[in-house]
Amino acid sequence: MIKRGILIGLCLGFLLTGCDLIEYHPYDVRIDGETNINLKNIEKIQQQCAGKDTIRFAFMGDSQRWYDETADFVKHINKQDSIDFVIHGGDISDFGITKEFLWIRDIMQGLRIPYVALIGNHDILGNGKEVFEQVYGDENFAFIAGNTKFVCMNTNALEYDYSHPVPDFDFISREAADSARYSKTVAVMHVKPYDDQFNNNVARLFHAEIKKFPSLQFALHAHNHKLQTTDVFKDGIIYYGCASMKQRNYMVFTLTTNGYSYEVVNY
């Protein structure tokens, strides 16, 4: 009877503590904490940059499994006093696992300035797209900082087996329709034309469409884990690629009334 009583007691103990022992599936899309980050931060960016002639922003990407390096990036950015916002070029996660998104989200939330994030090809794995949409928002989005429009696009076509419009030309056309509100444009994506993940059947069409925006300054991309400066279509429009967080550097772009400049910052 004593042994039976001990056994019953142990079973009751496990039942009472069962909730603490449950481990959700790694691709579970229940999100705790901050959500819809892009929309909230876009509002801040547009308000803080309204009327400014000079805009400075940092561009980085491919944080993936480099959590310490991303945390150091945040600390380094927070020491700067002239950067208006940060753009994360995608591949927030490595395997599209919910916790990966939340770990990077919590690190990036330490920034003193607003940031937005694009979706990368790794972010689409598993249920990653659903997690991205909850944590950050739409896969395609745009905002205006000063007099420059930033058009941010999902270009990870290969992950969809061409079953989803990537790039989304309807989105691009809609965003080009309000050209009276700004005078310059920057195109942002995770994968540039002619890379492995891009739908290269429409590479030239894509470039032609983004050139229809007012005064396209340049295009930005991540994905390749190295610094790149490429005149992809030999027409003077440069596609700038950032390194991954593993390389411990990021790019800072300065937009002025006379053009733009950039620098690579190591930390």
Alpha helices in the chain (DSSP H): 2-16, 18-21, 37-49, 67-78, 98-108, 128-135, 169-176, 203-210
pLDDT at 25: 65
pLDDT in tens, 191-203: 999 999 999 999 9
- Res. 142: pLDDT tops 60: yes
Domain formed by 26-266, architecture: 4-Layer Sandwich (3.60)
Question: What angle is formed at CA 23 by the lines to CA 109 and CA 30, rounded to 5 degrees?
Answer: 45
The strand order across the sheet containing 239-241 reads: 141-145, 148-153, 184-189, 216-221, 239-241, 228-230
CA 53, CA 200: separation in Å to the nearest integer?
A: 36
The model's pTM is 0.90
The H or E element spanning position 22 is none
User: Which pLDDT band holds residue 30 (cuts at 50, 70, 90)?
Assistant: confident
What are the boundaries of each domain within the chain?
A: 26-266
